Chains A and B, each alone.
Chain A
Amino acid sequence: MSVLHRKLGRELLRMSGQALAIALVLASGVMTYVLTSTSLASLLTTQARYYSEYRFADLFVDLKRAPEHVGERLRDIDGVRSVDTRVVAMVNIDVPDFTDPVSALLVSLPDEGQPALNRIWVREGALPERADEVLISDAFADAQSLGPGDTLGAVINGRWQRLRISGVGASPEYIYQIKPGDLFFDFERFGILWMRRQPLATAFDLDGAFNNAVFALRPGADARDVIARIDDVLERYGGQGAYDRDDQVSHGFLDTDLQSLVVMSRVFPAVFFGVAAFLLNVVIARMLAAQREQIGILKAFGYRNGELALHYIQLVLVIVAVGSLIGTALGVWLGRGMAGIYAEFYRFPYLDYSLDVGVAVMALTIAALAALAGTGHAVLRAARLPPAEAMRPEPPSRYRRSWLERLGLGGWLDQPSRMVLRHLGRHPLKSAITVLGIAMSVAIVMLARFQVNAVDALVESEFGLAAREDLTVTFTEPTSYRAMFALAAEPGVGQVEPMRMVPARLRAGHREYRLAIRGLVAEPDLHRLLDIHQQPIRPPAEGLLLTSYLADTLGVVPGDSLQVEILEGDRPVRQLPVAGVVPEYIGMNAYMELTSLNRLMREGNAISGVYLKVDADERDRLFQRIKNMPRVAGVSIQREAVRSFEEDMAGTVLIFTLVMTLLAMVIAVGVVYNSARIALAERARELASMRVLGFRRAEISYILLGELALLTLLALPPGFLIGYGMTHMIATALGTELFRIPAVIAPSSFAFASCVVMAAAIGSALLIRRRLNRLDLIGVLKTRE
């Protein structure tokens, strides 16, 4: 080991507090990077493996009814490799000892063995054999504690039937086991039931026919082309428009979540690496300034620029290595926890979770690059300093009276306060940099709280103000108003409001999006639409009202025209104007006035669902009756959905908030402690001289710590601003088809961020005070600086 290495070791030891603070900030960056990248990688590989092992289909289509031989025509389409025709139906089921309505999606399996596509992973038990047997989805089974041998009741096409559970499993088609049309999963109240084709078809009068098909494409086939052909073939059979994986519910959800993960894997590490680079810059620049003469002497004896640069870079790299090690270890550890959370939401048969060495190396590389970006310039400049110049100490700085004093307020200040102000005034840039660093940590605490605020705001806006119904009842097919009046007549039902949903494809230029257009009454009171000021607005009589995120996705603004291809009934294709936009946070919707929608469909007063307000006491009995009503396809309980959403989110949000707050504190301590240590080093002589002159410890502490307190307070307003900006940036970056996160910051967050940062400042101050108290008066005055 060379002497320079020993020098490096001792210096690191001396600045170990500072070095550790920086290493921890770097570790935070590495941790978030490793955590998000590994999760992302493991989800992607698991997804790919599951999809291929269990043959996830490429295209999907729903239709009314087609005779089985039409399947042959679908198989003959160019580009199609294989087709599974199926019977799929939504039913209400009875779970023993559970009163809330539970809906299930019945999906047919071929009469023998596994399907060709979307194969079943059997977790327990076996595939159904007998006509009354079903295999149920795993999340539902877990939530309801059901297993092989248990029974369920189902109302199939109006007749009550008893179903025996043969097994529990899942398929790549339902990794996200969510009720179609819903935005949150509710594993207790929704499940997928796989049943043999023959009994299922018989129950739904679909003998020798199918109402759903899934396709695998040949490699290189043009999906759009194949979709057009499928739609041609199925037009006569009530085809609702074929769609690809992007529009498939489970894949769509998974995909958007993965996209958010990609964003997070970039944004958060970037913030931490940025702060670490900044801290290193401050600390190393200060260290180089203090070591000017040492650099000079080494150069005088013939050390080369490169050797000296390397010496200081090694010091930086040791910090990077320590940070990366801690960060990677934490990332892997937390990653296992995160994998557990994912396993809740995504029903994979397995999760390929492992730390990719590439990710660790990448994290280390990025951390090193960030650190070098922060220090490289200062190190090279110091190494290039001509030796004769390096050995001359920097000229003493010029002090001036601070502007406060010049304003005539000097008389109000005691001598130590004046020293604080003059010191700040002497180094405006240094002070500004410290303020910026502390402001960054304020901003990061705000970011940590932002998710909590956002979820509250989202729930309040979407469910408190907009969707105020208690229940949504949907019918198996468009019905007359009589169905609504029947519901309204039930005891316990208060307000009712009809609605109509029509599957459609919206096109603007080459962009298109498939959704269900919602027809609402002219003046909705239960299911309301809100403008940006949270004021109710009416659905348009002419044209469509779009979720603003959808308008952006399609690249249209109010006044533009959209091609609307209805995928039901006579399948009309129309040009409709965009009448306006609504700033919704969840999902992407298109709204019309109910009567206009029916006019477009050339159907009379048809409705496909009803929003209800119900009496809480009558709720359970009402469920029982509604479940058994003909043509009721499903009942969604708004409040339960919100509750289970909040529960689901609460866990993740809490963990996220906790971790982020911790990280923010690391940054706050890192910045404040480093600034304080630097201030101490720079002023040790001055402070020691004052002690020698008879100033008390408390008095000299005040000079140093008063400066720190002032800088911390000064950092709060810019911190709030940066936090606000980052919140907006991240909210925008994290927006997906499913959710947009409202960029709101609750007033309490400002207070919380201030408290966290001030706590960090006080903690650092106490550490520094200990050092101040041990200030070695003679030692400080003896060594030249």
Chain B
Amino acid sequence: MSASQPEPHAADLVFRARGLTKVYQMGEVEVHALRGVDLELARGEFVVLLGASGSGKSTLVNIMGGLDRPTAGELWYENEALSHASERELTEFRRRYVGFVFQFYNLIPSLTARENVAVVTEIATEPMRPEEALEIVGLGGRMDHFPAQLSGGEQQRVAIARAIAKRPAVLLCDEPTGALDSKTGVVVLQALDTVSRELGTTTAVITHNAGIADMADRVLVMTDGRISDERRNATRKSPDEISW
């Protein structure tokens, strides 16, 4: 027990992970998606995750967001042991603290942009108004459009509005700018930056665009299920200073 006890925690550490391992069982074959990840995230910290395809970025972020459980290892969010939480506890954790932006937007096709945001704000405690969130990502004029009536980039911005609208304590974004041109990409990143600064949201962004790394407090590089490199930026660049 004592071995897995977390270190006496510094007040500002939000996430603490020790030896996180995730193994997918594919019939006979075992896929090691994470091979022992150690990680600490401070409150309000903005982290960018880089790494080759298949290196385990999505897996790690999903586990941090309480979508999945590690096969082994420890993960703490403040005083909650996510690695040992029940399904119900994970649901409550996500409901209260986490905003997600997924790689494939995952909007609900039968709901308008506004409603796709509202579906999350309805169960949040102190959300923005859905309209406000959509204004932030520059979609004030398309609130009553259905996903099928929006372009891929617009859909992605709705997904971001949905994630920030609940004013989450933790914001986890899986390639949020994948489908965007640089101009809208900047708008979106600006929104993420604003939310993280103003609300003190702890943010993790997965990206293949190394340029985005400049707006982070810290950059983590994943290789083959491990964090292989880590560097700290002296200053966080504003998104409009980033080169794509």
Contacts and interface: CB of A to CB of B under 8 A. Distances in A.
Are both chains from one complex? yes
B109 to A, nearest CB: 7
A783 B109 contact: yes
Contact of A301 (B107, B110, B120): B120
A294 B104 CA distance: 12
Contact of B110 (A14, A293, A299): A14
Given A301-B123, A302-B123, A388-B68, A3 B94 contact: no
A298 B119 contact: yes
Given A302-B94, A302-B95, A388-B62, A3 B100 contact: no
A305 interface: yes
Interface in A1-34: 2-4, 6-7, 10-11, 14
Interface string B59-101: 0001001011000000000000000000110011111101110
A547 B94 CA distance: 74
A300 B65 contact: yes
A294 B108 contact: yes
B106 interface: yes
B125 to A, nearest CB: 11
Residue of A3, A11, A14, A305 with most partner-chain B CB within 10 A: A3
Contact of A4 (B100, B102, B107, B119): B119
A463 B98 CA distance: 82
A301 B98 CA distance: 7
B56 to A, nearest CB: 13
Interface string B27-42: 0000000000000000
B122 interface: yes
A783 B106 contact: no
A491 interface: no
A398 interface: no
Nearest to A290: B109
A391 B111 contact: no
B104 A784 contact: yes
A386 B110 contact: no
Contacts of B110: 7, 10-11, 14
Contacts of A779: 148
Interface in B161-176: 162, 166
Interface in A739-785: 779, 782-784
Contacts, number: 82
A297 B148 contact: no
A3 B87 contact: no
Contacts of B91: 299, 302-305
Given A2-B122, A3-B115, A14-B110, A303 B95 contact: yes
Nearest to A7: B110
Contact of B94 (A2, A4, A301, A783): A301
Majority secondary structure of chain A interface residues (helix, strand, loop or mixed): helix
A633 B44 CA distance: 108
A14 B111 CA distance: 13
A782 B149 CA distance: 10
Given A3-B115, A300-B67, A391 B106 contact: yes
Contacts of A14: 110
A387 B147 CA distance: 21
Given A3-B111, A3-B118, A386-B68, A302 B96 contact: yes
A782 B62 contact: no
Interface in B133-184: 147-148, 162, 166
Contacts of A298: 108, 119
Contacts of A172: none
Residue of A11, A298, A387, A779 with most partner-chain B CB within 10 A: A387
A304 B91 CA distance: 6
B111 A6 contact: yes
Nearest to A293: B106
Contacts of B120: 301
B67 A3 contact: no
A376 interface: no
B178 to A, nearest CB: 14
A783 B98 CA distance: 27
Q: How large, as a class, is the contact surface on chain A?
A: 20 to 34
A302 B102 contact: no
A297 B106 contact: yes
A539 interface: no
B111 A302 contact: no
Contacts of B100: 297, 300-301
Given A303-B123, A386-B68, A388-B67, A296 B95 contact: no
Residue of B107, B111, B166 with most partner-chain A CB within 10 A: B111
A2 B122 CA distance: 8
A3 B98 contact: no
Nearest to A390: B67
Contact of A7 (B87, B106, B111, B148): B111
B67 A387 contact: yes
A442 B72 CA distance: 56
Residue of A2, A11, A300, A305 with most partner-chain B CB within 10 A: A300
Contacts of B93: 302
A391 B58 CA distance: 12
B206 to A, nearest CB: 15
B115 A300 contact: no
Nearest to B63: A388
A387 B93 CA distance: 13
Nearest to B111: A7
A303 B162 CA distance: 14
A209 to B, nearest CB: 86
B106 A296 contact: yes
A7 to B, nearest CB: 5
A394 to B, nearest CB: 15
A94 to B, nearest CB: 78
Nearest to B110: A10
A297 B102 CA distance: 9
B240 to A, nearest CB: 29
B112 to A, nearest CB: 9
Contacts of A7: 108, 110-111, 115, 119
B77 to A, nearest CB: 14
Contacts of A10: 110-111
A785 to B, nearest CB: 10
Contacts of A3: 111, 115, 118-119, 122
Nearest to A9: B110
B198 to A, nearest CB: 21
A783 B93 CA distance: 31
A14 B110 CA distance: 9
Contact of A386 (B87, B92, B115, B119): B87
Nearest to B123: A302
Contacts of A783: 109, 147-148
Nearest to B69: A386
A387 B95 CA distance: 13
Nearest to B172: A300
Nearest to B130: A3
Nearest to A776: B148
A387 B91 CA distance: 10
A6 B119 CA distance: 10
Contacts of A784: 104
Contacts of A303: 91, 95, 123
Nearest to B119: A3
A302 B92 contact: yes
A301 B95 contact: yes
Interface in A283-316: 293-294, 296-305
Contacts of A301: 94-95, 98-100, 119-120, 123, 162, 166
Nearest to B116: A3
B154 to A, nearest CB: 13
B124 to A, nearest CB: 8
13 contacts: A4-B119, A297-B107, A299-B91, A300-B65, A301-B98, A302-B96, A305-B91, A387-B67, A387-B68, A391-B102, A391-B106, A783-B109, A784-B104
The 5 closest A-B pairs by CB, nearest first: A302-B95, A388-B68, A302-B94, A3-B119, A297-B106
Given A7-B119, A10-B110, A783-B147, 5 more contacts: A6-B111, A300-B94, A302-B95, A305-B87, A388-B68
